[in-house]
């Protein structure tokens, strides 16, 4: 049998020679001086040889362990050479399945499912730029410390919110990789609480009644496309999220019943939502219907009626009218309604929150359904539209509170 001393003492010759150890293990010495471990065995009556590694990178003890594994396979009726080739192919395949490739595949899937162009662009930028340090690694080899290192660099640049978004996106990618059999665990889940707390960011909004009047007068004087004008006029009346407004479809709206029924898949909370339409809202939609009513979307894009309005359209129009991003945004109509309906008009918070499609629950912790408080919310939405009309026309008259109108 061999020993480490004997193996170290072996000198190269003009031709390759081998020295046996035991149970099929031998050391092969080449003219170059390289020493390679080999395991000689017979499979189905035919002699075969398996490479086990190079000495001294693989010691004698390690080579004997590898030999014993191979012997066990032979005894079980398996050709160890085939196992090694399969493992090598699997490693090669896993090396090609990188985090970046799986992430971009996942983003493309989300895009086909309706993810907005802006969101797609931001997600790709996170993968290709901010998570580039793990992008080239096999997705199954990305560990929590490696991912955290990438996120820490984002924190160091002062983009804490983006770091949280990157962690969230990475978690979605790992869950997708697990579902498609390319990873076994989600290291992003281990990083919950590991990042700096992000400062709460509120969407800019106008909540002072006199300033709301100025905003509405600017909207009604805006000289843009009819579709954009209609969206601007409707946004404060329905105060849905900008993405929900952009993706509104005529099939969801019943003008005769004055109701907009938004399906669950379009909502942030993944619950169907009902928006009662005031007389003013119905009027705006009836004026727009001859222009876009034959298509799918209420507010189609400029380049194609098969796609909804760009997510930047409302904000761009607000910027054009002189309202910068620190003053008013498309999302700000929600904060406007939430604040004024509560503090100025005194409507019950439950009604407001439910109309905002927030996660409102009753005293027993159960989620309200889509029609909860619907008659009262309908009256609130009509009162809100009348209040906005009064502000726009500078009458300054507030409607009755909901509690007094039944």
Q: Using CA atoms, how far apart are residues 70 and 76, in angstroms rounded to an integer?
A: 10
In angstroms, the Cα distances linking 347 to 337, 395, 396, 404 are: 11, 21, 18, 10
Phi-psi region of 239 (alpha: psi -120 to 50; beta: other; left: phi over 0): left
Task: Judge contact between 248 and 260, C-beta under 8 A.
Answer: yes
C-alpha to C-alpha distance for 42 and 73, rounded to whole angstroms: 12
* SS3 call for 256: coil
d(Cα 406, Cα 402) in Å, to the nearest integer? 6
Cα–Cα dist 308/354, whole Å: 26
**Catalytic residue ranges:** 241, 268, 331, 334, 358, 368
Of 121, 229, 107, which Cα lies nearest the Cα of 172? 107
Instruction: Determine the length of the chain.
Output: 406
What DSSP assignment string belongs to 285-325? HHHHHHHHTTSSBSSB-SS-TTSBPPTTHHHHHHHHTT--T
Other C-beta atoms lying within 10 Å of the C-beta of residue 51: 13
């Amino acid at each position: 049998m061999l020993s480490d001393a004997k193996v170290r003492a072996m000198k190269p010759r003009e031709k390759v020679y081998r020295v046996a150890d035991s149970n099929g293990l031998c050391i092969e010495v080449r003219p170059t001086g390289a020493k390679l471990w080999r395991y000689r065995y017979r499979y189905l009556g035919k002699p075969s040889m398996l490479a086990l590694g190079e000495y001294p990178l693989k010691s004698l003890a390690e080579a004997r362990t590898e030999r014993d594994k191979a012997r066990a396979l032979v005894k079980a009726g398996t050709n160890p050479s085939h196992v090694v080739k399969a493992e090598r192919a699997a490693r090669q395949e896993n090396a090609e399945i990188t985090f970046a490739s799986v992430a971009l595949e996942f983003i493309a899937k989300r895009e086909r499912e309706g993810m907005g162009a802006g969101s797609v662009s931001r997600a790709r930028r996170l993968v290709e730029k901010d998570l580039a340090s793990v992008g080239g690694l096999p997705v199954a080899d990305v560990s929590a410390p490696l991912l955290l290192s990438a996120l820490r660099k984002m924190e160091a640049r002062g983009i804490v919110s983006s770091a949280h978004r990157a962690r969230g996106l990475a978690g979605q990618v790992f869950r997708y990789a697990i579902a498609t059999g390319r990873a076994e665990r989600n290291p992003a889940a281990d990083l919950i609480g590991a990042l700096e707390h992000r400062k709460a960011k509120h969407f800019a909004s106008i909540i002072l009644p006199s300033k709301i009047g100025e905003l509405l007068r600017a909207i009604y004087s805006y000289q843009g496309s009819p579709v954009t004008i209609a969206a601007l006029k409707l946004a404060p009346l329905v105060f849905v999220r900008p993405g929900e407004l952009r993706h509104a479809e005529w099939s969801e709206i019943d003008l005769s019943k004055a109701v907009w029924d938004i399906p669950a898949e379009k909502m942030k909370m993944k619950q169907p939502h009902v928006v009662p339409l005031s007389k003013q809202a119905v009027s705006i939609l009836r004026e727009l219907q001859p222009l876009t009513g034959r298509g799918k979307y209420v507010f189609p894009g400029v380049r194609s009626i098969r796609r909804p309005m760009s997510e930047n359209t409302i904000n761009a129009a607000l910027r054009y009218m002189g309202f910068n991003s620190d003053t008013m945004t498309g999302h700000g109509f929600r904060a406007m309604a939430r604040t004024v309906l509560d503090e100025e008009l005194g409507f019950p918070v439950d009604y407001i929150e439910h109309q905002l499609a927030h996660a409102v629950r009753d005293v027993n912790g159960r989620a309200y359904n889509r029609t909860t408080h619907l008659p009262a919310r309908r009256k609130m939405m009509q009162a809100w539209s009348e209040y906005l009309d009064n502000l726009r026309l500078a009458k300054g008259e507030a409607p009755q509170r909901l509690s007094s109108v039944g």
